[in-house]
Structure 1
């Protein structure tokens, strides 16, 4: 079964500063593409999509240049900085063939996302250029993703980490996720969930709920490397995802492991 990892990060905190990076986070200063490639090769993963870790133009240029010469990456998602009067970090390289989407990392904004400057304009631009809008949001903001999708139906929207991350999968999150999934233009990544630490029953119930709401053709695998490997290995992240999956038909398995990612993040070269 071909596997695409739809959510990884690479960086060099010495060459291109990452504002949020601290040594006490337990993360490597150099999350190198070569190190990732070894992990992917050993796990039998064919390719990955790199998501920009911060939001500077310098980092965006470094990331696209890295992807252009790496055999596993090739595709990148850049980061949008929603500050009034400031262009997105993606602007300088928005039409690079490697750029398949832009992520708005906005969990600190209002629940309805109304204070995220330029979000609708960004969504419209991405839809017009056949690129995907990613949203890194908290559970309370999930209904706003559906509302945005209905305003911009030509734009594919992808939720990072099921809009949950490592938080507890409670009834409020599930209700909000159901609202997000009610918009057919919204898909999601099964990433950043710390499934290896959740326990088998909780992990299976979490993914059962996600597949019931979205279906395999709107879900995709992501490891969140190297964030996810602070306490475990890449191989265990992949294994924990496999263990938590509901029973899938061959076509559903192909969609989840590679087809959804290839459809929503097509190579533009």
Structure 2
């Protein structure tokens, strides 16, 4: 089964600083593409999509240059920083074919995302250029993803980490995820959930709900490397995900492990 990892990070904080990085986070100072490539090869993963970890132009340029010469990272998602009057191009970086999307990391903004400057212009721009808009949001913002999608039906909108991450999977999140999934243009990444740290039944429940709401054709696997491997290995992340999956048909497995990512993030956009 071909696997595309739709959510990884690479960085070198000594070459390009990451503002949120601290040594006490137990993360490597150098999360290199070479090191990731070794993990992917050992696990039998075909390729990965690198998501910018912070939001500087210098980092975005470093990331796109890294992807251009790496055999596994042929696709990158850059980060968007909302700012008044910011142009729809959003990142301040020359967009190359390797750039397959832009992520708005806005969990600190209003629940309805009404105060995220330039978000509609960004959605229009990405839809017109065949690129995805990723949203890193908190659970109560999930309904706003559906609203945004209905305003921009031609733009693929992808919710990172099921809008949950390491948070508690309570009834509020479940209802909000249901509302997000009600918009056919919204997809989600099964990433950043720390399934290995949850009970087996809770993990299965999370993924069962996700597949019930979105279907395999709107879900993509992401490891969240190296964030996810502070206590376990990359192969363990894959194993925990496989163990939590509901029973899938062959077509559903292909969608979840690679086809959804390839559809949402086509190369050469």
Q: How does 1:142-221 map to 2 (within 5 A)?
A: 142-221=142-221
- Give 5+ residue unaligned stretches, structure 1: none
Deviation at 1:266, TM superposition (A): 0.6
8 A Cα contact 2:86 2:118, kept in partner: no
> What's 2:108 paired with?
108
Moved beyond 3 Å, runs of 4+: 85-89
> What's 2:254 paired with?
254
Deviation at 1:91, TM superposition (A): 2.9
8 A Cα contact 1:56 1:89, kept in partner: no
Deviation at 1:93, TM superposition (A): 2.1
Aligned length: 268
Q: How does 1:1-269 map to 2 (within 5 A)?
A: 1-86=1-86, 90-94=91-95, 96-268=96-268
2-structure distance, mates of 1:116, 1:233: 36
Q: Normalising by the residue count of structure 1, what TM-score does the alignment of the two structures yield? A: 0.98
Q: The residue matched to 2:108 in structure 1 has which SS?
A: coil
8 A Cα contact 1:49 1:73, kept in partner: yes
Superposition RMSD in Å: 1.0
- Give 5+ residue unaligned stretches, structure 2: none
2-structure distance, mates of 1:53, 1:92: 15
Deviation at 1:231, TM superposition (A): 1.3
8 A Cα contact 1:192 1:223, kept in partner: yes
Deviation at 1:85, TM superposition (A): 4.1
Structure 1 residues 220 and 128: CA distance shift in structure 2, 3 A: same
8 A Cα contact 1:5 1:49, kept in partner: yes
Deviation at 1:86, TM superposition (A): 4.7
Q: The residue matched to 1:246 in structure 2 has which SS?
A: coil
Q: Normalising by the residue count of structure 2, what TM-score does the alignment of the two structures yield? A: 0.98
8 A Cα contact 1:11 1:31, kept in partner: yes
1-structure distance, mates of 2:166, 2:240: 14
Deviation at 1:92, TM superposition (A): 1.8
2-structure distance, mates of 1:210, 1:167: 15
Q: The residue matched to 2:77 in structure 1 has which SS?
A: strand
2-structure distance, mates of 1:71, 1:17: 24
Q: The residue matched to 1:175 in structure 2 has which SS?
A: helix
2-structure distance, mates of 1:197, 1:74: 31
Deviation at 1:52, TM superposition (A): 0.2
Q: The residue matched to 2:93 in structure 1 has which SS?
A: helix
Per-residue deviation, residues 201-223 of structure 1 (Å, max 9, x unmatched): 00000000000000000001000
Deviation at 1:89, TM superposition (A): 6.0
